[in-house]
Each structure stands twice: as C-alpha cells, then as structure tokens.
C-alpha cells in the first residue's frame, strides 16, 4: 500500500526560526528530530512567501505567475465572493490527484485559498476556520465538516487534537493524505509568556507564537506508534519562509526589522 502522508505547514515561519537551521534562541527539539531523521533542504527557495500564494503553489505545484494568486486573499472582500469560490479551481490540486490514486484526503488548519465553508480542491475531511488571517489564537470559530463551533483554547491545540483524532480513527484500508496547516507562529501577535509558552528569549528573537507551536509537536511523537502501524508513513514539514525585513504593514519576520538608512554625506 502507498505510504500515508502527513504534510505539516506552518505560517510565516522563516527557516532561521528552527533549531535545525542554527537558531540558538528558540528551541524546537521535536522538529529538529524530524529534520535529523528525514530530509532537510538547505538550498531551497519560496517564490512568494505570502499566505495565499504559497499555499496555492504547494497545492498546485505552480508559481504565482502561473496560478494567478500574488498576495493574500483579503477577508474583507469575502462577502463579495461566490459561496464556493476557489482561487485555484481551474488547476488540478495535489489532493485531487491523490484521490484519483486511492488516497483519502483531509485538510486540518488554515486554508486561505478560497471560501472556507465547504471542502475544496479534492479534500474530503475538512477542519478550518472562517478567516484567512489570524485575528486571535484563542477562542476561534471552527468549521468542521459542515458544523460550526467555537474552540475555547489555542488554535494550535485545536488543529493538533483534530489531526491526532483523525489519525487515531482512520480506516487503514487506504492511505491518507493529511494537510495539517497551522496558523502559527504568524507575525501579528507577540509571544505571551504563560503555561506552555515559556522559554523564549526575552530579547532578540520575538518568534511570534513559535514556542506554542513547537511545544504541541510532541503530540505527534506520542501518536507515532499509530502512524507506524499503517502500511507506510511519510512526514513532510514545510516551514514557509515568510516575508522578512521588508517595508510592509505586517511584520512577518522572526526578528524586529532592521533597516540601515544613510542620513547624509558620502562614505570616506
């Protein structure tokens, strides 16, 4: 039987935010172990690290100049979209191709490529929230296979629990493709010291909510025996590089932006 595929995608996370790429301030031991036991890409690039273009590229295998999404989809325009609008509907998406080859498909997490209210792009199992942008990590409204409810805790915990639940109750007669798309660490919200988010550097790297995200990756270590019991297991961790150190309204880098500007005069 073909291998099961767990594709983990994080949001606005440059490679330098991971220990396996040399970060000594933010500790990511679980993801470092995945990198050590799997394949780490040291010479890869992302054509457009914005939320929507990057996700469209991952799902279609096309560059933004080909699939046509060049920036994030604005939630404020959602009311003007058709009810089931899909920004990449004209292309064959990865989950559609996998379904044609016997896979069961699931999206759990952030979508941000079209209307989020019903499954799109060949996904069968569908757990997301009604917005593309993260307005808060806490108390989010969740759309779960046509049912809407509010998850009182952290969204990373929600998506992790739903992913583990999906794996635990999965029918092993066919392989699965689980696209687990976290909305963390993101760039709007600072790291808040508290239960489960301790240990981040007080200065230097801000890191968004990286500590919380990496802390929750231990759930998959505990559930690994479930995956090992399947015919095969393939885990892909795709950390989106983000848009760093640019003149932008949204600070998506891991560090405070630093810009060198000449005041006056000429260099000696």
State which H helix or E strand residue 106 sits in: strand 104-109
For residue 97, which phi and psi values (nearest 5 degrees)? Answer: -65, -40
Q: Which domain holds residue 20?
A: 4-75+93-239
Does residue 267 belong to any structural domain of this protein?
A: no
**What pLDDT digit, counting tens, does each position of 114-128 carry?**
888 889 999 999 999
Most confident range (mean pLDDT) of 5-14, 57-66, 75-84 is 57-66
CATH of the domain at 26: 3.40.720.10
3-state secondary structure of 10: strand
Does residue 153 belong to any structural domain of this protein?
A: yes
Please determine, for residue 247, whether its predicted confidence score (pLDDT) is greater than 50: no
Does residue 82 belong to any structural domain of this protein?
A: no
Q: Which of 4-18, 101-115, 132-146, 216-230 has the lowest mean pLDDT?
A: 216-230
Confidence of residue 238 (pLDDT cuts 50, 70, 90): very low
Does residue 265 belong to any structural domain of this protein?
A: no
Percent of the residues in the chain that have a pLDDT greater than 70, as a whole number: 69
Mean pLDDT computed over 43-70: 89
How many structural domains comprise the chain? 1
Q: Which of 26-30, 96-100, 166-170, 219-223 has the lowest mean pLDDT?
A: 219-223
Does residue 151 belong to any structural domain of this protein?
A: yes
Please determine, for residue 243, whether its predicted confidence score (pLDDT) is greater than 50: no
Spatial distance between the Cα atoms of 27 and 23, rounded to a whole number of angstroms = 8
Does residue 16 belong to any structural domain of this protein?
A: yes
Does residue 124 belong to any structural domain of this protein?
A: yes
Q: Is the peptide bond before 40 cis (omega within 30 degrees of 0)?
A: no
Alpha helix locations (H) across 51-194? 51-60, 64-67, 94-100, 155-168
- What is residue 249's predicted lDDT score, i.e. its pLDDT? 38
Active site residues: 51, 112
Does residue 193 belong to any structural domain of this protein?
A: yes
- What is residue 218's predicted lDDT score, i.e. its pLDDT? 54
Over the chain, what is the mean pLDDT? 77
Please determine, for residue 252, whether its predicted confidence score (pLDDT) is greater than 50: no
3-state secondary structure of 149: strand
- What is residue 214's predicted lDDT score, i.e. its pLDDT? 55
pTM value is 0.73
**What pLDDT digit, counting tens, does each position of 188-229 carry?**
555 454 454 444 434 444 445 555 555 555 555 555 545 554
């Amino acid at each position: 039987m073909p291998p099961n595929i767990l594709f983990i995608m994080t949001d606005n996370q440059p490679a330098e935010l991971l220990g396996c790429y040399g970060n000594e301030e933010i500790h990511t031991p679980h993801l470092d172990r995945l990198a050590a036991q799997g394949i780490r890409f040291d010479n890869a690039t992302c054509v457009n690290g914005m939320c929507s273009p990057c996700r469209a590229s991952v799902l279609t295998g096309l560059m933004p100049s080909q699939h046509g999404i060049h920036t994030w989809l604005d939630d404020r325009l959602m009311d003007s979209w058709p009810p089931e609008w899909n920004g990449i509907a004209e292309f064959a998406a990865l989950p559609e191709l996998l379904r044609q080859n016997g896979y069961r498909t699931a999206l759990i997490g952030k979508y941000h490529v079209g209307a989020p209210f019903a499954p799109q792009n060949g996904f069968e199992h569908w757990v997301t929230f009604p917005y593309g942008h993260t307005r808060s990590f806490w108390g989010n409204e969740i759309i779960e296979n046509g049912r809407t409810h509010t998850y009182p805790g952290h969204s990373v915990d929600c998506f992790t629990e739903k992913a583990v639940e999906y794996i635990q109750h999965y029918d092993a007669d066919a392989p699965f493709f689980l696209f687990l798309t976290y909305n963390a660490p993101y760039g709007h919200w600072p790291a808040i010291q508290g239960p489960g988010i301790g240990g981040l550097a007080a200065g230097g790297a801000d890191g968004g909510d990286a500590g919380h995200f990496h802390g929750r990756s231990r759930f998959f270590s505990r559930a690994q025996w479930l995956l090992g019991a399947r015919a095969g297991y393939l885990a892909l961790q795709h950390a989106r590089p983000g848009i760093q150190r640019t003149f932008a309204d949204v600070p998506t880098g891991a560090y405070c932006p630093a810009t060198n500007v000449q005041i006056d005069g000429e260099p000696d």
